[in-house]
Amino acid sequence: MITNEAIIELVEQHIQGTEIFLVDVAVKPGNMIRVHVDRTDGISIDECVKISRYLNEKLDRDVEDYSLEVSSPGLSAPFKVKQQYDKNTGRDIEMLLQDGMKIKGRLLSVTEEGIVIQVKGNNREVKFEQIKTSKAIISFN
């Protein structure tokens, strides 16, 4: 059986030493493998193809059949790793906190423990463990 851990290990081996970071891996029933990767300045289709080819070389379809999708998480996807906050510094984001409070504001900075967000002119520190979900606000202005 193909596991999340095995795919994570393979992807991390391949991207080690690059600016690419792993966002998420999901292995669903029937070995449907989905890998989300990104870079601070955005990931290209060619980079996703290289990761897909690497995984296909390392996995054996004769032993276990699978389907594989390697892509970026997308503009509207919730943040899952710290690097996504780094990538979106300076942009407007919306968050749902663990206590149910919703916050919209400009992401000013990211630390190891959390973020600083500007809400209506006031800076607010929010720890990562306080955040339930967060994502970039897409604006076409």
Splitting the chain (141 residues) into consecutive groups of 10 residues, what average pLDDT does each group show?
95 97 96 96 96 96 93 92 96 97 98 97 97 92 71
For residue 24, the cross-strand partners are 36
Write out the E strands in the chain.
Answer: 21-28, 32-38, 67-71, 92-97, 102-110, 114-119, 122-127, 131-136
Q: State pTM to two decimals.
A: 0.87
Cα gap 16→1, rounded to integer Å: 25
Domain ranges of the chain: 4-71, 82-136
CATH of domain 4-71: 3.30.300.70
4 contact partners, CB below 8 Å, separation of at least 6: 25, 26, 27
Please tell me if the domain spanning 4-71 has the same topology as the one spanning 82-136. no
Write down the number of H helices and E strands in the chain: 3, 8
| Fold (topology level) of 82-136 | SH3 type barrels. (2.30.30)
